[in-house]
Structure 1
């Protein structure tokens, strides 16, 4: 009789272990590299996505799109790339590293100041020869590239650069930090970066004709050895980020969907 009960217990434990093993096998981790300017909106969207897909866990690596693209080129294990630059998206696509992708959002470039500053426009800023402006490093940060284009069109980039009045940053989040902490008198960021942002004020919105179109891209990345479950998770995330539900959240954070 004791052997019988022992057999039953072992059988139950076997079924339990098999069930746990199956559940673990169904869990999928997605590694996503995303432009730093999307941090807040993606935080909200990820909660919604993981509620719909409890078996999919998402890990984000935020930064400047140029730096993130270089990491991908160097072999970083990334499943999806969310870029604030068509250039960085195109560079991966040209190397056949993109499985599926498209433009999903647009944005605007704005000049901000600390609430403690008394400047009211770019002209005011230029008049203060001791004032400095924080911008993303143009070679690595799309916002910095757009900023350089706009300031060149306005004829002030070379002057600011020559006078050492530009402070280069690793991403737009860094720009915000420097302005809020009065380490920079002004900064150039996206309109979406300052939605409900305390401590800074937008003093100028730049005409979109002054720079290349600001478009955000989503790309699922090629991986021939990827398991089917991961590919399905990538497809689910891609469809979710492209949905009307996601667009509504993005609009709340200052983005505009691509028409």
Structure 2
């Protein structure tokens, strides 16, 4: 009799465990279902494309920062748009869906404009990178390294008919703005004289490619860009306090899913430039950290 009671008790207990597990299963499935992919839209200055990376067959190349970030954060996908900072700012202003999440600008002016336009949350802005401006020449010019300074460019162009200089359009390209500052510092009329020999481009990558293809014999680009085209001759270098700020959009910060993902990306990029042991991707491409 006692054994029958014990058997009934064990059977009842076992049934309770089965029911409890059955009820628990849907809850577990729901929690695993939350591990869906979050997509971030990064708007980045054209000069960062080599260090951040561009997708090839859907994958960022090994050794690039976005590849490393996605490897470490498998539930986050980053779509990046490269262009001049001014063009990116205009795109964000015109986007009715406010789809951008992070903005990496090549100058403070465009970032400040993004904050003023209520696109970027001011509290998230961080001065991430430093760069330098360099004058480069195509090998066909016969020029050698450090043989032509910015102050001598106008004379060289005048002495070599048919030669031109590629420059980013200062209206939208920070590298062009910095270049204009350099020529303005030489003489108040130099920039206007340079324009008679200049081709203006919509971003610094186009400037670099134009010189590499000898469409224009000279060009003014960032030191990091010149490093990607070692066949070009670096003629002069200027440290004009070039700062790349990064910030998160208000649209992303107001989204409970996008906000932590965007912050994770910013923190990842901060951590890379902070490295000083040779493992920093940014530093290996020629960037340096901003003294905060």
Q: TM-score range by the shorter chain?
A: 0.7 to 0.9
Q: Which residue matches 2:148? A: 121
1:129-170 CA distance string (max 9 Å, x none): 432100000000000000011011122212122xx2010001
Contact 1:152 1:158 in 2 (8 A): no
Q: Which residue matches 1:90? A: 112
C-alpha separation in 2, matches of 1:224 and 1:176: 33
Q: 1:251 to 1:36 in 2, by over 3 A?
A: same
Q: Which residue matches 2:192? A: 158
C-alpha separation in 1, matches of 2:168 and 2:220: 8
Asked whether 1:40 is paired with 2:53, we answer no
Asked whether 1:50 is paired with 2:78, we answer no
C-alpha separation in 2, matches of 1:232 and 1:258: 24
1:245 deviation in Å?
5.9
Q: CA RMSD in A?
A: 2.3
Q: Which residue matches 1:201? A: 233
Q: Which residue matches 2:180? A: 148
Asked whether 1:216 is paired with 2:230, we answer no
Asked whether 1:255 is paired with 2:287, we answer yes
TM-score normalised over the length of structure 2: 0.75
1:195 deviation in Å?
1.4
Q: Which residue matches 1:187? A: 219
Structure 2 unmatched ranges of 5 or more: 1-21, 54-63
Q: Which residue matches 1:135? A: 167
1:68-113 CA distance string (max 9 Å, x none): 0111112251000000010000011123322211111111000001
Q: 1:158 to 1:243 in 2, by over 3 A?
A: same
1:223 deviation in Å?
1.4
Within-5 A mapping of 1:3-82:
22=33, 26-43=36-53, 44-75=64-95, 76-82=98-104
Helix, strand or coil for the counterpart of 1:214? strand
Aligned residues: 238
Q: 1:231 to 1:40 in 2, by over 3 A?
A: same
Q: 1:157 to 1:205 in 2, by over 3 A?
A: same
Q: Which residue matches 2:8? A: none
C-alpha separation in 1, matches of 2:210 and 2:282: 25
